[in-house]
């Protein structure tokens, strides 16, 4: 996502090799992370590197990057539709034929090749699960799925908050990156040793598909153990990512959803005895709800679970749980587990990004670079250079280094300077203006203009406290309109 919105779709090809090695070492040494995240990054890097090699445009590079990510998901889980929706719902800033078709082709090809090389089976086998809610309405079952959805929403929020806490805490406490990794992996190792001595198995290390498979096969049904594994996996995953281990959050989300769902079913059997909810069925619904709420890919989670189970009866419970989980998570925190990490880097991702690729552009891409800086009290004659033949340039009005107003370009000022040259420029200056950085996304500039009802933004480049000398351009509504129009193609 960072490459799409802040690097024009450019990822170095070496990222694929480095990410593969780093993730293999992390997962092999016991880090509680997923392999899908690295696979997504590897697919994205290959798509981006190929598009750079053949000299494609930014729009095309972003499309192939997203197609590579979707292909990685599709091949891993044997879910081609889920891979397509992942690219469209989470990555692509525009959904149209020119972005949709490459993604479909890539995910279809990846799924086919994956089935040939790996086999037709998904990452884990999902048994046949009966959902009586479809055959006849069961109030207790409906209540159970509603409660599970709400619970998964809170769990997704906890996952996001704890991940942020760990990623902020490790650098502050230990400083050196090598020390961070050593301490974090030592903590996970101690947790694994404790679980092995208590239960004869470490449970929380690596991807965790074996635990999910045991839950689905009814081999793990103790509510206490399942709840313990949920809590420990939550800590282990956030510690792993916080200390710098290379891996993803997709598999941990599945693990957390499966253990939480199964624990809920086992624990609520005495309260809702006629719900018909089993640990395996609740685990399936919990996986979808946790992934949908945590990643923001609601439709992706629903469709992927359907593809893995191939049971249409699961759709209604999954939709209910995923929708509620996503709603609760959004009410508690407005960021997904993907975007919250970028936000802490100062890179905000627009939430409504499905209409046009102009949202990928930055203020420096569209700003007007021709402007005049004039002191307050300056007359029109003094402010307008003698060689100026029109008012195409904006005038920034400053007093003692502080900006006090802006006269936008094409305001009729040149003509006024010829008739009333002694008028001071403050007479014409707009007081309602905003400032932004040259690398701010247009979506952020739009939001500030709307919030302050301003007609223009002054663009700075430099330190934390912008000065007049740091002004590099002006963004006006006319410039924005031109950028939006230019983003459309016949």
Find the length of the chain: 490
Let me know whether 164 and 193 are in one domain: yes
Residue 453: the pLDDT is 87
Let me know whether 311 and 245 are in one domain: yes
Please identify, among 122, 156, 180, the residue that sits at the C-terminal boundary of a domain.
Answer: 122
CATH number at residue 252: 1.10.3080.10
Report yes or no on 165 lying in a domain.
Answer: yes
Give CA–CA dist 468/113, Å, rounded: 57
- Report the domain count for the chain: 3
Minimum mean pLDDT range among 48-52, 116-120, 198-202, 411-415: 411-415
Residue 417: the pLDDT is 60
The percent of residues above 90 in pLDDT, for the chain, comes to: 23
Q: What is the mean pLDDT of residues 219-242?
A: 93
Report yes or no on 132 lying in a domain.
Answer: no
Residue 235: the pLDDT is 95
Let me know whether 162 and 291 are in one domain: yes
Higher pLDDT, 338 or 166: 166
* pLDDT category of residue 274 using cuts at 50, 70 and 90: low
Report yes or no on 130 lying in a domain.
Answer: no
Residue 45: the pLDDT is 86
CATH number at residue 478: 3.10.580.10
Q: What is the mean pLDDT of residues 247-276?
A: 86
Report yes or no on 402 lying in a domain.
Answer: yes
E strand residue ranges, 3-87? none
Give CA–CA dist 469/112, Å, rounded: 57
Let me know whether 174 and 322 are in one domain: yes
Residue 155: the pLDDT is 96
Please identify, among 122, 154, 170, the residue that sits at the C-terminal boundary of a domain.
Answer: 122
Helix (H) or strand (E) holding 396: strand 394-399
* Radius of gyration, alpha carbons of the chain: 27
Please identify, among 122, 152, 179, the residue that sits at the C-terminal boundary of a domain.
Answer: 122
Please, are residues 407 and 428 in contact by the beta-carbon 8 Å criterion? yes
Judged on CB neighbours under 10 Å (0-12, 13-18, 19+), 197 is: exposed
Residue 322 has pLDDT above 90, yes or no: yes
* pLDDT category of residue 140 using cuts at 50, 70 and 90: confident
Give CA–CA dist 286/260, Å, rounded: 7
Residue 134: the pLDDT is 46
Report yes or no on 127 lying in a domain.
Answer: no
Identify the domain containing residue 324 by its residue range.
139-344
| Mean pLDDT (the chain, rounded) | 83
Let me know whether 465 and 330 are in one domain: no
81-128 pLDDT, tens digit each:
988 998 888 888 877 788 888 889 989 998 899 888 877 776 666 666
Higher pLDDT, 196 or 464: 196
Report yes or no on 151 lying in a domain.
Answer: yes
* pLDDT category of residue 392 using cuts at 50, 70 and 90: low
Higher pLDDT, 2 or 169: 169
Let me know whether 369 and 415 are in one domain: yes
Minimum mean pLDDT range among 90-99, 156-165, 388-397: 388-397
The bridge status of strand 394-399 relative to strand 402-407 is antiparallel
Residue 394: the pLDDT is 81
Q: What is the mean pLDDT of residues 385-403?
A: 71
Let me know whether 382 and 483 are in one domain: yes
Reference 248, options 126, 177, 337; nearest CA is: 337
Q: What is the mean pLDDT of residues 311-338?
A: 89
Residue 389: the pLDDT is 52
Residue 128: the pLDDT is 63
Q: What is the mean pLDDT of residues 244-266?
A: 91
Let me know whether 149 and 292 are in one domain: yes
Residue 133: the pLDDT is 46
Let me know whether 282 and 392 are in one domain: no
* pLDDT category of residue 5 using cuts at 50, 70 and 90: confident
Give whichever of 44-53, 148-157, 462-471 has the largest mean pLDDT: 148-157
Report yes or no on 177 lying in a domain.
Answer: yes
* pLDDT category of residue 256 using cuts at 50, 70 and 90: very high
Let me know whether 445 and 382 are in one domain: yes
Predicted model pTM: 0.76
Residue 404 has pLDDT above 90, yes or no: no
Report yes or no on 289 lying in a domain.
Answer: yes
Let me know whether 113 and 148 are in one domain: no
Bridge partner list, 474? 368, 458
Let me know whether 117 and 169 are in one domain: no
Reference 289, options 160, 151, 163, 158; nearest CA is: 151
Residue 488: the pLDDT is 62
* pLDDT category of residue 189 using cuts at 50, 70 and 90: very high
453 CB neighbour count, 10 Å cutoff: 8
Give whichever of 16-30, 119-133, 324-338 has the largest mean pLDDT: 324-338
Residue 490: the pLDDT is 42
């Amino acid at each position: 996502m960072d490459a799409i919105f802040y690097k024009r779709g450019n990822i170095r090809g070496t990222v694929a090799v480095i990410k593969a090695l780093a993730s293999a070492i992390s997962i092999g040494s016991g880090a509680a992370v997923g392999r899908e995240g690295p696979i997504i990054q590897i697919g994205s890097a290959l798509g981006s590197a190929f598009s750079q090699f053949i000299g494609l445009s930014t729009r095309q590079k972003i499309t192939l990057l997203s197609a590579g990510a979707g292909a990685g998901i599709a091949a891993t889980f044997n879910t081609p539709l889920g891979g397509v929706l992942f690219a469209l719902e989470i990555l692509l800033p525009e959904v149209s034929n020119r972005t949709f078709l490459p993604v479909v082709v890539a995910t279809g090809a990846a799924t086919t090749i994956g089935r040939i090389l790996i086999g037709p089976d998904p990452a884990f086998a999902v048994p046949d699960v009966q959902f009586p809610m479809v055959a006849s309405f069961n109030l207790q079952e409906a209540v159970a799925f509603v409660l599970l959805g709400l619970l998964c929403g809170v769990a997704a929020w906890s996952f996001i908050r704890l991940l942020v806490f760990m990623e902020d805490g490790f650098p502050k406490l230990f400083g050196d990156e090598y020390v961070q990794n050593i301490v974090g992996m030592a903590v996970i190792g101690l947790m694994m040793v404790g679980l092995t001595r208590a239960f004869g198995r470490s449970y929380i290390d690596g991807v965790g598909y074996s635990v999910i498979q045991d839950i689905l096969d009814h081999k793990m049904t103790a509510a206490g153990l399942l709840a313990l594994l949920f809590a420990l996996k939550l800590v282990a995953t956030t510690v792993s990512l916080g200390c710098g281990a290379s891996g993803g959050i997709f598999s941990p989300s599945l693990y957390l959803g499966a253990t939480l769902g199964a624990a809920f079913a086992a624990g609520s059997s005495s309260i809702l005895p006629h719900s018909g909810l089993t640990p395996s069925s609740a685990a399936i619904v919990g996986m979808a709800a946790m992934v949908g709420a945590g990643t923001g890919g609601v439709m992706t989670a629903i469709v992927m679970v359907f593809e893995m189970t191939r049971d249409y009866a699961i759709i209604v419970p999954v939709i209910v749980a995923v929708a509620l989980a996503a709603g609760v998570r959004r009410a508690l925190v407005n960021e997904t587990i993907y975007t919250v990490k970028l936000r802490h880097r100062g890179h905000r991702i627009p939430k409504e990004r499905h209409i046009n690729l102009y949202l990928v552009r930055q203020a420096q891409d569209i700003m007007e670079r021709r402007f005049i800086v004039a002191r307050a009290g300056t007359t029109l004659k003094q402010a307008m250079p003698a060689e100026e033949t029109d008012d195409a340039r904006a005038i920034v009005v400053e007093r003692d280094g502080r900006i006090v107003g802006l006269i936008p370009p094409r305001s009729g000022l040149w003509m006024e300077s010829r008739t009333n040259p002694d008028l001071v420029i403050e007479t014409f200056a707009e007081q309602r203006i905003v400032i932004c950085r040259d690398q701010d996304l247009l979506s952020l500039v739009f939001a500030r203009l709307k919030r302050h009802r301003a007609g223009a933004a002054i663009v700075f480049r430099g330190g934390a406290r912008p000065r007049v000398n740091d002004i590099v351009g002006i963004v006006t509504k006319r410039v924005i309109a031109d950028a939006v129009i230019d983003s459309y193609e016949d």
